[in-house]
Every structure is written in structure tokens, then in C-alpha cells.
């Protein structure tokens, strides 16, 4: 009696196991989930689902092949879209570069973009805000003071009608707070690198048509009204910086997609 009961239990377990979903069934569920994600335009998540099928269900040969083929089709479409976007960004860069001259001296590690309205000949003897950009898309701002006495400024505030942005403080004696003099003229140049402009670049770029003023913060306050061409230089440099960084990102994505497509 016990043996008969045991046999029935074993048969039931075998039948239950045999009737459960196969790896192909489970893999098809993943495929359906991936297709739903594609319909919802979540390409990255869809590819993750497709790529996981071969490791999760190694015996689902049919579904594995189908998933690989679909993933390849998706990546090829993404590659084409990314290449088209890169072409568009390159055209944008070419247009923006017309506002700049390129320069690389023995002291420069990277080629510098100098805005045509802020070259040395145009700016050496005035107090103004200068924008700096290199071939990597790295961007920073500097405040340049020219006068008959030391201002000893360490920061900058740009403002108009209650709206303003203020840089971080760059102490006197630091590498980014430079000064020099010749006869009766005094020059001070404070550079706000690595985000120390604290949003001043964006503020200027977004308000080119406003009557922006700036105050150099030092032993005494020194006020200037920003020239339209200086505001435009900041705007143009920020746009070019973003475009250069976007080009680099797209080129990296294309390289990764091409590598993945060549593997499969």
C-alpha cells in the first residue's frame, strides 16, 4: 500500500514538472516584454531584456537566436539615428566655429577657441568678462580688470533687475588670481575654473538681451555694464562647448554600437 502511494506521488511530481513552462516558454515571455518596451520607446530596457535571454535560458535555442536577431536590428536602427544626430551636431559645430579663431601656443596643452570679439587686440586695455574654451569643450570664465590702482578683486557678481549670479571666491595668491603692472597701468585676471563661475556663464548666456551689469568684488566694488558682444561671446562659447561634448558622446556611442554589431 505504501509503495503504491509512493508511486502515485512520484508520478504526480513528474507530471507536474513536465507540465510546467519550458525554457522556451519563459524566454518567449521575455521576448514579449522586450517588444512591449519597444512599443513604449524604451529601447535601452528592451535591449537589456533581449540580451538576458541567452544567460537566463541557455536551452531556449530558438528564442536565443530570435532575441539576438531582434537586438541586432534594434542596434542597427539606433546606430543609424545616432549617426544622423552626429552629422547634425557637426554642422552645428561648424557654424559656431565661425565666431572663433583657433590658437595653440607653446603653453597650451589643447587648442583654444578665442571668440573673435575677445581677441587680445580688442580687449587688452579694458575691464571685461572673458570666456575661455578649448577643443575638449572645457569652458570657464575670467574677470579682467584694467585700471590705475589695485582692485584686489577675488570674485564677480552679474545682475539685472533683482536677478543675479555670483562666482565663488578665488583668493589672492592662488594660481587663478593673477596680477601684473606696467608703468601706471594695473591688470588683474581672476579665473573661475571647474565650475567656480557658479552659474554665471549660464546666467549671461540666457540673458544676452538684458542690460546686464557686473561688479568686481575686491577691496572696493568696481562696476561695469557688459558689452553686447561680450555677452554674445559667452553665449556662443557655451553653445559650442555643449556641441563639442555632445559630439564626443555620440562618437563614443557609435563606436560601442559598431563593436557590438560586429560581435554578433
Tens of pLDDT, residues 103-112: 998 888 999 9
pTM summary value: 0.83
pLDDT band at 263 (very low <50, low <70, confident <90, very high): low
pLDDT band at 60 (very low <50, low <70, confident <90, very high): confident
Q: List the one residue out of 82, 86, 219, 230 whose CA is nearest residue 152.
A: 219
Please check the confidence at residue 16 and state whether its pLDDT lies above 50. no
pLDDT band at 4 (very low <50, low <70, confident <90, very high): low
* Chain mean pLDDT for the chain: 90
Cell of 216: 568686481
- CB half-sphere exposure, 55, CA atoms < 13 A: 5
Mean of the pLDDT values across residues 203-222?
Answer: 97
pLDDT band at 11 (very low <50, low <70, confident <90, very high): very low
Mean of the pLDDT values across residues 246-260?
Answer: 95
Bridge partners (DSSP) listed for residue 187: 146, 180
- Distance between CA atoms of residues 145 and 186, nearest Å: 8
Q: Return the pLDDT at 166.
A: 98
pLDDT band at 123 (very low <50, low <70, confident <90, very high): confident
Please check the confidence at residue 120 and state whether its pLDDT lies above 90. no
Residues with Cβ within 8 Å of 204's Cβ and at least 6 positions away in sequence, in order, are 129, 158, 165, 212, 226, 231, 234, 235
Mean of the pLDDT values across residues 74-86?
Answer: 95
pLDDT band at 24 (very low <50, low <70, confident <90, very high): confident
Amino acid at each position: 500500500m505504501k509503495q503504491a502511494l509512493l508511486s502515485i506521488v512520484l508520478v504526480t511530481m513528474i507530471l507536474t514538472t513536465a507540465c510546467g513552462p519550458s525554457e522556451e516558454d519563459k524566454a518567449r515571455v521575455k521576448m514579449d516584454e522586450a517588444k512591449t518596451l519597444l512599443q513604449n520607446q524604451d529601447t535601452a530596457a528592451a535591449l537589456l531584456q533581449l540580451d538576458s535571454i541567452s544567460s537566463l535560458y541557455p536551452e531556449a535555442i530558438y528564442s536565443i537566436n530570435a532575441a539576438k536577431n531582434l537586438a541586432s536590428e534594434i542596434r542597427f536602427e539606433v546606430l543609424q539615428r545616432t549617426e544622423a544626430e552626429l552629422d547634425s551636431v557637426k554642422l552645428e559645430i561648424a557654424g559656431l566655429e565661425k565666431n572663433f579663431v583657433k590658437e595653440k601656443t607653446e603653453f597650451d596643452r589643447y587648442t583654444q577657441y578665442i571668440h573673435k570679439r575677445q581677441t587680445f587686440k580688442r580687449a587688452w586695455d579694458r575691464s571685461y568678462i572673458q570666456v575661455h574654451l578649448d577643443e575638449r569643450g572645457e569652458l570657464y570664465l575670467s574677470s579682467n580688470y584694467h585700471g590705475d590702482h589695485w582692485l584686489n578683486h577675488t570674485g564677480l557678481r552679474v545682475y539685472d533687475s533683482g536677478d543675479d549670479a555670483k562666482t565663488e571666491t578665488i583668493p589672492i595668491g592662488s594660481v587663478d588670481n593673477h596680477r601684473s603692472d606696467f608703468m601706471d597701468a594695473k591688470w588683474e585676471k581672476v579665473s573661475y575654473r571647474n565650475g567656480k563661475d557658479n552659474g554665471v556663464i549660464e546666467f549671461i548666456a540666457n540673458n544676452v538681451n538684458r542690460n546686464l551689469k557686473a561688479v568686481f568684488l575686491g577691496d572696493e566694488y568696481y562696476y561695469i555694464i557688459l558689452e553686447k558682444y561680450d555677452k554674445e561671446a559667452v553665449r556662443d562659447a557655451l553653445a559650442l562647448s555643449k556641441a563639442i561634448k555632445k559630439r564626443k558622446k555620440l562618437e563614443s556611442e557609435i563606436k560601442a554600437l559598431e563593436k557590438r554589431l560586429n560581435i554578433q
